[in-house]
Amino acid sequence: FKAIPEAAMTLRLMFSDPEQDNKSLPEQSHGFLAIRYLLAATIIFFRDLPPRDIGEDDWQFLVDSSLLQSSTVKYLSTRSHHTRSTLMIYWAIEVVHVGLGNRADRQLKVVSGGFLAMHEKLREIHETMSLPIPF
């Protein structure tokens, strides 16, 4: 998915401080959290494709790799496999919105458009994978 590297570059520009020499997103920034959520959404999506359901090892991988906190995993594990990655993408948009504060209008539109395009691609993949295989 080219959406994730594009989002990372866009968020780095949005959340970088021009007065400091930022080489990358600080770990605690809103942009970094949004990228973590997008990566987690992608992993969850592909691990959750039917007929498979995401397992304990997969959830633990997301926690061990610092993409998600255990409380987030606990919440997501109670949701249906259809909504998990979608929730993560919308949470990423919300994190960017909060991070941008009062400069959110135009910039949020740009970022959310890319995130929603990623969601659309995931939905297309899900629909294609759900089609019966002719034999």
Residues 74-96: tens digit of each pLDDT: 999 999 887 999 999 999 988 88
Report the SS3 class of residue 133: coil
Q: What is the DSSP letter of 67?
A: S
User: By the 8 A CB rule, do 35 and 114 touch?
Assistant: no
Q: Which two tokens stand for residue 12?
A: 């780095």
pLDDT at 17: 62
Q: What is the pLDDT of residues 98-107, one digit of tens each?
A: 888 877 677 7
Global confidence as pTM: 0.80
Percent of the chain scoring above 70 in pLDDT: 87
Q: Is the pLDDT of residue 59 over 90?
A: yes
More confident residue, 62 or 116: 62
pLDDT at 67: 93
Q: Of 1, 28, 2, whose CA–CA distance to 15 is shortest? A: 28
Q: How confident is the model at residue 66 (pLDDT cuts 50, 70, 90)?
A: very high
Q: How far apart are CA 82 and CA 33, in angstroms?
A: 22
- Supply the mean pLDDT for the chain: 82
